[in-house]
Structure 1
Amino acid sequence: MSSVKFRERARYWFDNTMSKGTISLVGWLAVVSMGLVVVVAGLLMWVAPDEPEGVGGPGHVLWIALMHALSPDELAADDGSVPYMAVMLVGSLGGLFIVSMLVGLLANGFEQKVDRLRRGRSRIVETGHTVVLGWSDQVFTIVAELVKAHASESGSVVAVLADRDKLAMEEEIRERVDLGRTRLVCRTGSATEPRDLALMNLAAASAVVVLSPEGEDPDAHVFKILLALDKREGVHPPVVAAIAATRNVAAARLAGGADVHLVDSDDTASRLIVQSSRQSGMSVVCMDLLNFDGGEIYLRPAAEVAGRTYGETLHAYETATVIGLRKPSGVVLNPAMDTPVTEADEVVMIAHDDSRIVLADGTAAVDEAAIVTTEPADPEPERTLLLNWNSRAHHIIRYLDGYVAPGSVLEIATDHPQAGTGLDGLRNLTVNVKDCDTTDRYALEALAPGLFQHVIVLSDDRFTLHHADTRTLMTLLQLRDMQSAMNEHYSIVSEMHDENNRALAEVTEADDIVISDTVIGLLLAQLAENRHLADVFGFLFDSRGSEIYPRPASSYVTPGTEVSFSTVIEAARRRGETAIGYRDAAGRNIPPHYGIVLNPPKPDLVRLSERDSVIVLAED
């Protein structure tokens, strides 16, 4: 082993001190400056011991040398011998060099400090704030919904941590979201690094939302964040995370631990697409329930209605619509009408604000003469056309198989190489696959879409999100024009990624447009505010039990008759269903609610026509 020379040790030590930053560099400049002053003073005392005039010893000489080093303009006022002037010139030049370096170092250090502050590296000292980890288009939906949820509060804070520039994040969010009274705090860092997570003061946070990033294998990034959150010490706030692929949910649950609630993006979006394809307006109803704009879902202790049956509670609240019960055994929406309500239960209801939930005064006014009694028709086989293919298609087809009657047919039209694979074990659907360019008018006409009751247009995962949405718009325009030209009637539901494309897609008058990323963002925001709603939304999106159905108003009340909404609720109750609102056909294409009215006041009078629908919770 070769020995280390003194020169190498000295250089190594010097390199280490130089790497410690601005303070170390300034210290070295101070040492060099003092060395320069001592050398200049020594030379003066040697070559010009009697200059300048009135010198009072070595200390005075050191002071004169120091002043010339710090202020080179002192040289212009000197008047001495050539040796004296030469030494002072050397000292002034050396001082000029050192002062210039000092100014540069201080300016650079200050700039670095400002840049560090600008990048957001200080620890958050808020309490009760909501933390969002990661970055995707869902961040705008989540922040916007959290702002609405806390619109009546002052001092609410949303904190975002992502590996992006702090100012750029804040500017982008403010451009797309009206923050109102909510404060936005952004920090630059990696959500998988414990040191960066410590910036967010997670122990004092009310909830943490983990976003699934865009790009390949996003769930791997979510896994790392969940592991980092689980391993940190201290208080663990509730965590809500989005998982892109259903196959990764079990692993994510293991990584996150008991404090994490997972949203299966594939599963949720697939269920909503299937339900929307069969029930026009379903996606708008779900969006209304998921956002904080109008009617929201609340859980309320059942003590004030204990002793009644579920059917009796439907008329118990004047400004809220009861939709189910949360019993110790779990959530049940639209249970049997004779289900008893106990003090241990909670009532699941839709209301515009929890502070406005009041019991009805007296008995509900019901117009018996306007109630229509009809028997629900038996389900018949259906024909569905599926255009395009992506990784979510397998889920969609299997869920569709659980809804339709035996003997139903599904035609898949796409040029995707994986279309129709892995569909063994279907019970009710017969699947056929046809090669087709779904943006080509003649290819679409050859499919004869008028022979189908439902058309589903998926986003093709072979293209970028923006390009896929553009192709979906082209297909929708072709279908709508074909419907108009051939006077055909079939429902159309389409899947898109970008919320901004909804306004463009509305030109096509598509019955339902499912913005999958927006739906997941809304669901994450809801669960961040109240994790207990997870069972409620899970029940809504499940094919088992009761689901949301817009059904013809003529099956409940006499068309054209002016009735109270209490009468509509009673008509649905007698069919074993729970009415939660209605859809005005005249407003079907008018944003933002598209004719959907949820939780109308029970005493209000409505006039429902043949074309209108009553929105109910019912079993298929």
Structure 2
Amino acid sequence: MLSAAAILLCFASLLHRNFSLHDQVHHLRGQLGAATAKLQSCIVVMDSSLDMSSAFSDQSNDEFVPSRSLKNFSLLLSLSALYAPIIILKYIDLLSRLRRSRGSEDVAFNKRLAYRVDIFLSLHPYAKPLVLLVGTMLLIGLGGLALYGVTDDSLSDCLWLSWTFVADAGNHANAVGLGPKLVSVSISIGGMLVFAMMLGLVTDSISEKFDSLRKGRSEVIEQSHTLILGWSDKLGSLLNQICIANESLGGGTIVVMAERDKEEMEADIAKMEFDLKGTAVICRSGSPLILADLKKVSVSKARAIVVLAEEGNADQSDARALRIVLSLTGVKEGLRGHIVVELSDLDNEVLVKLVGGDLVETVVAHDVIGRLMIQCARQPGLAQYGKISLASRTVNSILKDGLSWSECNLKMC
């Protein structure tokens, strides 16, 4: 299609050059005829003046014939370029039907052509604007040739007039004559279709942009932020404690990425109704297993990365956490912060640490809760303050001191 458009543009430029030269020759001959007519009026002898006028009138009539034939050729060319593809497609479709009737199982040419067009429009992002631009240029070119064939104007004026008909449908009201009116109305109808398609493309692009912003598909450009991967019931308490830990730093940024809709996550966080204390919480929709989604939330620039365990089967949750750690270690830019992974089974802790290395700190929820219950049983007053204090100091240590969970538990003990 691009090659055909380029060839057509070259042919149109050559044709325009030829027509302009013909117009210039015709204009010079007209000026020569006018000068000759003025010279005739100065001649005293009547007979000789009559002879000269008849000769020049015959010459002007001979000159008008090729100009009129050129206009007829341009009109015929525009109509042929408009209807030839339709006739060719119908003829090829008829041949394909005849071949299928003989027992062949080939797909019809029209279906194959429609399939290729569909693939072209689907794969290339700029295919639709390009097709619209080519269609507009063809409409202006064919319309200009048709106007050149039915009017006495030059080709350049006809092309400009064709563009005005495409841009504004009301300009054809000044057309005089049956031929110019039919051509101008046809160009105006094509212009209305072109601008309707252009308006549809602009509307679709704006709608897609707003949908991507609403669904959390835009990129997060942050540094030294806390990244939370996943969603669980523990997210509210985790956000609250991180906000308390960031209060001494004047606030911070928390980015939450989960396989949920952005609006739902923001609504659930708003329902928690706790004080953010200057910390901004940004939600994004994506999968932690996809490297492109991890880059979208600036994983390489995060100060700390927290991987939450899923609700349900412990082995499946830990397997997913292991895959997330593998995805994080595969970031080419490298990780600036450390990784905190919540596990459901204590037996899987060694495997996750083996894969993550020194960057990974594991937290087994059941093990921590069991130890906390034993401490509360031995010290009855710890049950009122120990849970919040332990979570607060643990999160604060991870974010500020870089201590491990086991070191924090030893400190509390």
Query: If the length of structure 2 is used for normalisation, what is the TM-score?
Result: 0.66
Which residue of 1 is the match for residue 136 of structure 2? 33
* Cα distance in 2 between the residues matched to 1:155 and 1:45: 71
Residue 71 (1) aligns with residue 168 (2): yes
Aligned counterpart, 1:477: none
Q: Please state whether the residue corresponding to 1:258 is helix, strand or coil.
A: helix
Is residue 361 of structure 2 the alignment partner of residue 265 of structure 1? no
Cα 1:155/1:145, change in 2 over 3 Å = closer
For 1:482-514, what per-residue CA distance to the aligned partner results, in whole angstroms no more than 9, with x for missing partners?
Answer: xxxxxxxxxxxxxxxxxxxxxxxxxxxxxxxxx
**Partner residue in 2 for 1:242:** 342
Partner residue, 2:276 = 179
Residue 364 of structure 1: aligned partner: none
Report whether the alignment pairs 1:280 with 2:380. yes
Letter in 2 for 1:31: V
Q: Give the corresponding residue for 2:318.
A: 219
Could you tell which deviates more after superposition, 78-87 or 16-25? 16-25
Equivalent residues in 2 for 1:348-363 (5 A)?
none
**The structure with more helix, counted as a fraction of residues:** 2
Counterpart among 164, 175, 179 of residue 83 in structure 1: 179
Deviation per residue, 1:275-310 (Å, 9 max, x gap): 434543433332142244xxx5xxxxxxxxxxxxxx
User: How do 1:520-539 and structure 2 match up within 5 A?
Assistant: 523=394, 526-539=397-410
1:126: Cα distance to partner? 2.0
CA distance in 1 between counterparts of 2:124 and 2:330 reads: 32
User: Which consecutive segments of 4 or more residues in structure 1 shift more than 4 A?
Assistant: 2-13, 523-526
Work out whether 1:131 is the aligned partner of 2:227.
yes
Residues 1:160 and 2:259 aligned together: no
User: In the TM superposition, what is the alpha-carbon distance from 1:268 to its structure 2 partner?
Assistant: 1.4
> Secondary structure at 1:185's aligned position in 2?
strand
Distance 1:171 1:219 in 2: 28
Task: Classify 1:266/1:209 alpha carbon distance in 2 versus 1 (closer, same or farther; 3 Å).
Answer: same
CA distance 1:3–1:251, shift in 2 (3 Å): farther
How has the CA–CA distance of structure 1 residues 240 and 154 changed in structure 2, closer, same or farther, with 3 Å as cutoff? same
Structure 1 position 188, deviation (Å): 1.8
User: 1:255 is paired with a residue of what secondary structure?
Assistant: helix
Aligned to 2:327: 228
Identity %: 28
Instruction: Measure, in 1, the Cα distance between the counterparts of 2:206 and 2:111.
Output: 32
TM-score normalised by structure 1 residue count: 0.45
- Count the aligned residue pairs: 305
Work out the CA distance in 1 between the residues paired with 2:378 and 2:409.
19
TM-aligned CA deviation for residue 16 of structure 1: 4.2
Return 5+ residue gaps in structure 2 as ranges: 1-104
Write out per-residue CA displacement over residues 70-110 of structure 1, whole angstroms, 9 at most, x where no aligned residue.
222223x2242222212222211111111111101111011
Which one of 356, 379, 390 corresponds to residue 290 of structure 1?
390
CA distance in 2, matches of 1:529, 1:264: 21
Is the radius of gyration larger for structure 1 or structure 2? 2
Contact map agreement 2:258 2:286 (CA 8 A) in 1: yes
Specify which of 351, 359, 365 is matched with residue 251 of structure 1: 351
User: Could you tell me whether the CA contact under 8 Å between 2:309 and 2:343 is conserved in 1?
Assistant: yes
Separation in 2, partners of 1:254, 1:38: 69
Q: Deviations over 1:557-585 (max 9, x none)?
A: xxxxxxxxxxxxxxxxxxxxxxxxxxxxx
Alpha-carbon distance, 1:209 to partner: 0.7
Give the C-alpha shift of residue 6 in structure 1: 9.6
Answer yes or no: is the 8 Å Cα contact 1:242–1:524 preserved in 2: no
Which of 233, 247, 253 is the equivalent residue of 1:151? Answer: 247
Deviates more, 1:220-229 or 1:210-219: 210-219
Give the drift of 1:65: 1.3
The answer to whether the 8 Å contact 1:209/1:524 transfers is no
Pairs within 5 Å for 1:349-498: none
